[in-house]
Chain A
Amino acid sequence: MIEIKNLTKIYTTPHQQVLALDNVSLTVNKGEIFGIIGLSGAGKSTLIRCINMLEKPTSGTIIVDGEDMTLLSKDELRLARQKIGMIFQHFNLLSSRTVFDNVMFPLEIAKVPRKEAKKRVAELLELVGLKDKARAYPSQLSGGQKQRVGIARALANDPKILLSDEATSALDPETTRSILKLLKDINRQLNITILLITHDMNVIKQICDRVAVIDKARIVEIGDVLTIFSNPATPTSRSFLDSIIKSEVPEDLLHLAQNNKESSRLVRISFIGSSAGEPIISTMIKKFDIKANILYGNIDRVKDIPFGNLILEIMGEPVIIKEALDFLKDNGLEIEVLKNAPSSN
């Protein structure tokens, strides 16, 4: 649906050149929710703006629904943009218009006959649950309601793609959840492809099918959300995960482990899917002559699949510890040794 090939964007100022996107390539499939996560300044905002040419790429191609956006004439681009909805962090609603007229705005731009447009606006307000706010002005709405208006407006011209530019970043967690749910419903009901950018891993976790991690103008990792959550390949991805899953071992726990007289190891065990439900740890303890102390753990769900993290201190003979860890690996768990606690000598 969206195919970005070798996209590079350089901002030129009189004093310097800033590389905002460095040879970025990615494909968004039809009907999926694709997330791009990155810190501010990583280039994600530039990337999403290149898709509807709000930013002109320095080089590279952007193919949306079979059309190369970089080759369109001004008029062709305007028509193409009418089929790409966009929602914004700060909503960008017109303060001079009521909710109804704000949703009407893109229909006016597309010169949809007034009678037809009014019917469409009514449908959209129903869809986003703001039927009773039609006559209100944006200033009279809460943040969540404003974003609902933004979503209704973005959907007015039946777009095939919805671009979301940090749409929930200005909202509280509760409202964020409800807006994300609305986006997911829209994705399912209307089969709209959604490309969103965010700096919040929770957004990715809640609604995305696939994710790309962007860091310093480059895509450093791209893949299935579940895969990246269970096995992040880059430090950037790891740090984003840490922001929502506290997998860092608290300092005092490390001390506890170090003070132990026996030979011990601190390990992080990550598990996903079915293995989360099996008693592998207890089997391990029964099978090997070791002791295990659970220091920290959590289980989360990504797209309805359980996913978790357990930090264990395993004590015993080093050889047996190694055998025990191999046993866990054989059972499909990800093992990371955090610390070899000093042995008693």
Chain B
Amino acid sequence: MSKTTLTRRGVLKTGTLAGGALAMPTIFTGASWAGSHTGFTNAPGDSEVTLGFNVPQSGPYADEGADELRAYELAVEHLNGGGDGGMIPTFSSKTLDGTGILGREVKYVTGDTQTKSDAARASARSMIEKDGAIMITGGSSSGVAVAVQALCQEAGVIFMAGLTHSNDTTGKDKKANGFRHFFNSYMSGAALAPILGDNYGTDRKAYHLTADYNWGYTTEEAVRNSTEAIGWETVAAVKTPLTQTDFSSYIAPVLQSGADVLVLNHYGGNMVNSLTNAVQFGLREKEVNGKNFEIVVPLYSRLMARGAGENVKGIFGSTNWHWSLQDEGSKAFVKSFGTKYGFPPSQAAHTVYCQTLLYADAVNRAGSFNPCAVVEALEGFEFDGLGNGPTLYRAEDHQCFKDVLVVKGKENPTSEFDLLEIVEVTPVAQVTYDASIFGGELGACNPGA
């Protein structure tokens, strides 16, 4: 049995050491990061650095996950000097030179999120703790993104979000260590409403079917607010279970409600099924209130559009990026991805490719892998050449602000990939909002270790 003796000197020494340790994260500021490759979680060695790609490799979003993984592999190839360099030559920041990140060859490990928050956290934790990943990126769901972002904050690594559209990711659930390139529900609503007004008029009655989870709520709120602002009336908003496959009982009463527009706040399989059901019911051939009945899908994905087939024709929605964009960055990425894989990249592939390059560039500019140095380099960073025009990584919420695409299901597609056409590139000013409206606190960055 041991005996512990407390002395005044001992308490003072211990207190001084503990105080110093607690003050440590605030000692390193600004340029003092440069050249420092210790004192944070998973500090890499001199030759290699490991990134963790956490994507759905099984479950309902496995195809999107596979496309994300292709883009990640392409990004790693380009960062290490392979291939044609993709968007590195068009990227406005010129720190990436094909020698990896800060001279270290980029390696990667992958995890399977299964589009489940607990599985995603477990795979991210494994990549951080067992594989030494310095940065985690990926995901095809807001629930997963929010969960993994919180984990990365606790673990002291950077999280570069993949496909996540909920306002909450950079709103009430934002974290200092997390960054999102993808757009969000608010932006979809703000971009869509004027186009809907121009095409369908301002005297419309909308009926919302909303997926009963976080993303559905924020999307419904965004589209309602923006369409009501142009004069539309919301006659009803009905929550539908996430597990619903047949939406007929939700769609059949729509015409009885007097609505002349159906807004489907659904994504993935929900969107495919609800849109298919709505078209089966012949809603688009109906005339209500003296107007043609219309359907709107706020968030489009090419992979989902493929699932819905011909039903997407003529239906408006929004998207973060589309392969048919003709700027130099998009053309370079489409060429690079298309040559390697034989088909054009999806928006999910585009956003994760951008996130990988943006992280690598931030490390190079900061001169350190320390997460707090990376946060500092990304906050307020303005860039161009990655396919969305001039873009700002806003410091207040770590959300990218850039133009938003309003798209429409193409009437005469030339291939299975040519399903959407760009109707308008909504300027960034129109989709920008006050960072405080969604609440939440970034908090302090956490370097871990």
A-B complex is real: no
Partner-A contacts on B (CB < 8 A): none
